[in-house]
């Protein structure tokens, strides 16, 4: 191809976005569609996977209408971390997916904690492993052939991978399912959980070529049949890639529906008691680690109290240099993952002042305090304290919030080169890819 195009598809909490870039990493097209909120019932949070596929199709239809589809070379997909679904041998979902923040598997998480090493990211009720164990113990895996993550399933559907003996996942998504990235294996301790091990995916590095578009999908979107599909990553890692952060000590905070923070470290740090884990990152040709975690706090809490129009109207009235004194811990529901790992932690949003602007600022301060506490915790555990912080997500546009955060973090806050996870996925698609090589 004279002018290859690379597409990144991001499946986030509230929607799907697709971005196409050229080999100079210039955006040549982008589109997005919204997704309905997941169904929530207490600690149960679910979503119909067919909503994801329909959203991907809508995005590809729109995107291929504004670019030359015959120039598309490679596609990469990112998805929410630890969102898990079961499928039959043909890739048909066997019910709803358990979302990233589903925390029903408390008993199963306790079982995992008794046998798992402390350096696994598969700890806690929201881990993909705890979800799979819950599904197994509740008889949901009897007819299943695959346990896969959001990005895995979309990629496999794009390349017509089904029926297949094993689906393919990537290092970043597989971490919370128990994969040992340092040893590149599914560890032996998993077998003591009496899991159906045949459901586990093969695992490769993000960016590895895993196939090409199926003839059916290529025809549907007028794309070349030799369009490559590469192993993807998690949405937070894709967002990190998009920002331009690449050196040790550079950090990224994602201020989206949830609060996700990561800092580049020379060594991995694992502290499941705090919800801290590490993901591999190839940066500047060297193996580094993204150390961080994800809080349930974030923009979803704000939207429980105010509409987007109300938030936009109140933002200019914020006074970030005059603290409210409100000691809030904003959560959308009971339960927190990081920097406090407590599935029963209750939100703290009282007293509520009469002035909505003060209440809004108090919530922003509360989220900023969680962010500052998280970075201090990571530094205490051995990761570098941020030399700089780039910001992604909707909150990155709020200048007052940025001032609040800078006052608390006492570090340089820089603009991200790009803020969309789909752009990071597109960079992954555009990167030099490896030959397909599954894990043992």
3-state helix, strand, coil in the chain (%, to 5): 35, 25, 40
d(CA 56, CA 15): 10
Residues 381 and 426 in one domain: no
* 88 backbone dihedrals φ, ψ, rounded to 5°: -85, -175
Task: Find tokens 């929607």 and name the residue.
Answer: 15
How does residue 433 score in pLDDT terms, banded at 50, 70 and 90? low
* Beta carbons within 8 Å of 307's beta carbon, 6+ residues apart: none
pLDDT tens for each residue of 260-289: 999 999 999 988 889 898 888 877 667 889
Residues 257 and 228 in one domain: no
Range of the domain at 204: 5-236+422-430
How confident is the prediction for the chain on average, in pLDDT? 93
* CATH code of 224's domain: 3.30.420.40
Residues 228 and 296 in one domain: no
- Structural domain contains residue 310: yes
Residues 220 and 253 in one domain: no
- Structural domain contains residue 243: no
d(CA 121, CA 337): 12
Position 148 pLDDT exceeds 70: yes
Mean pLDDT of 343-353: 96
- Structural domain contains residue 241: no
Per DSSP, the three-state class of 3 is: coil
Residues 204 and 316 in one domain: no
* Beta carbons within 8 Å of 420's beta carbon, 6+ residues apart: 10, 17, 19, 30, 239, 242, 392
Q: What is the pLDDT of residue 388?
A: 96
Give the Cα-Cα-Cα angle 77, 52, 153 (nearest 5 degrees). 55
Q: How many CA atoms lie within 13 A of 33 on its CB side?
A: 16
- 402: part of which helix (H) or strand (E)? helix 399-409
Residues 215 and 293 in one domain: no
- 282: part of which helix (H) or strand (E)? strand 277-283
Number of domains present in the structure of the chain = 2
d(CA 408, CA 430): 37
Per DSSP, the three-state class of 203 is: strand
Q: Are strands 168-170 and 250-255 parallel, antiparallel or unpaired?
A: unpaired
Compute the CA torsion angle 259, 122, 283, 264 (nearest 10 deg): 50
User: Which parts of 14-146 fold into alpha helices (H)?
Assistant: 49-64, 106-115, 128-137
- Structural domain contains residue 298: yes
pLDDT tens for each residue of 287-324: 889 999 999 999 999 999 999 999 999 999 999 999 99
- CA 237 to centroid of chain Cα atoms: 7
* 348 backbone dihedrals φ, ψ, rounded to 5°: -125, 105
- Structural domain contains residue 269: yes
- Structural domain contains residue 103: yes
Q: What is the pLDDT of residue 299?
A: 93
Q: What is the pLDDT of residue 251?
A: 97
Q: Which two tokens stand for residue 76?
A: 């990469």
Residues 387 and 372 in one domain: yes
Report which of residues 237 and 141 the model is more confident about.
141
Residues 168 and 199 in one domain: yes
Residues 228 and 259 in one domain: no
pLDDT tens for each residue of 198-227: 999 999 989 999 999 999 999 999 999 999
Residues 219 and 294 in one domain: no
Lowest mean pLDDT among 155-169, 299-313, 422-436: 422-436
Residues 277 and 334 in one domain: yes
- Structural domain contains residue 435: no
Residues 218 and 347 in one domain: no
- Structural domain contains residue 49: yes
Lowest mean pLDDT among 25-29, 167-171, 214-218, 281-285: 281-285
pLDDT tens for each residue of 30-89: 999 999 999 999 999 999 999 999 999 999 999 999 999 999 999 999 999 999 999 999
Mean pLDDT of 10-15: 91
């Amino acid at each position: 191809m004279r002018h290859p195009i690379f597409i990144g598809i991001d499946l986030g909490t509230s929607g799907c976005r697709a971005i196409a870039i050229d080999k100079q990493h210039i955006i040549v097209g982008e589109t997005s569609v919204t997704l309905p909120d997941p169904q929530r019932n207490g600690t149960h949070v679910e979503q119909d996977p067919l909503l994801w596929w329909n959203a991907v199709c809508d995005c590809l239809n729109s995107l291929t209408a504004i670019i030359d589809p015959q120039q598309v070379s490679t596609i990469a997909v990112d998805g929410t971390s630890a969102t898990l679904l079961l499928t039959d041998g043909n890739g048909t979902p066997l019910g709803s997916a358990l979302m990233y923040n589903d925390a029903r598997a408390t008993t199963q998480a306790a079982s995992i904690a008794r046998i798992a090493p402390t350096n696994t990211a598969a700890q806690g009720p929201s881990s993909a492993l705890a979800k799979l164990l819950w599904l197994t113990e509740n008889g949901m895996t009897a007819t299943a052939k695959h346990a896969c993550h959001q990005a895995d399933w979309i990629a496999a559907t794009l390349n017509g991978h089904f029926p297949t003996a094993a689906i393919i996942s990537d290092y970043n998504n597989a971490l919370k399912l128990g994969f040992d990235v340092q040893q590149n294996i599914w560890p032996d301790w998993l077998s003591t959980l009496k899991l159906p091990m045949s459901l586990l995916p093969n695992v490769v590095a993000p960016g590895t070529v895993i196939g090409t578009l199926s003839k059916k999908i290529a025809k549907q979107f007028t794309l070349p049949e030799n369009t490559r599909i590469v192993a993807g990553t998690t949405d937070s890692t894709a967002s990190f890639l998009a920002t331009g952060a690449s050196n040790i000590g550079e950090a990224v905070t994602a201020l989206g529906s949830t609060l996700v923070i990561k800092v580049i470290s020379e060594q991995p740090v694992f502290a499941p008691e705090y919800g801290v884990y590490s993901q591999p990152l190839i940066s500047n040709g060297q193996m580094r680690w993204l150390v961080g975690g994800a809080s349930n706090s974030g923009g979803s809490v704000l939207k429980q109290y105010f509409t987007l129009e109300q938030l936009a109207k109140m933002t200019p009235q914020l006074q970030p240099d005059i603290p409210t004194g409100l000691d809030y811990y904003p959560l959308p529901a009971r339960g927190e993952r990081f920097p406090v790992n407590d599935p029963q932690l209750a939100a703290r949003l009282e007293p509520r002042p009469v002035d909505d602007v003060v209440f809004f600022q108090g919530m922003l301060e509360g989220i900023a305090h969680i962010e500052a506490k998280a970075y201090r915790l990571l530094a205490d555990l051995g990761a570098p304290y941020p030399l700089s912080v780039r910001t992604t997500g909707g909150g990155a546009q709020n200048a007052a919030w940025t001032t609040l955060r800078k006052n608390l973090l006492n570090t340089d806050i820089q603009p991200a080169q790009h803020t969309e996870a789909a752009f990071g996925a597109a960079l992954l698609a555009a990167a030099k890819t490896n030959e397909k090589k599954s894990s043992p």
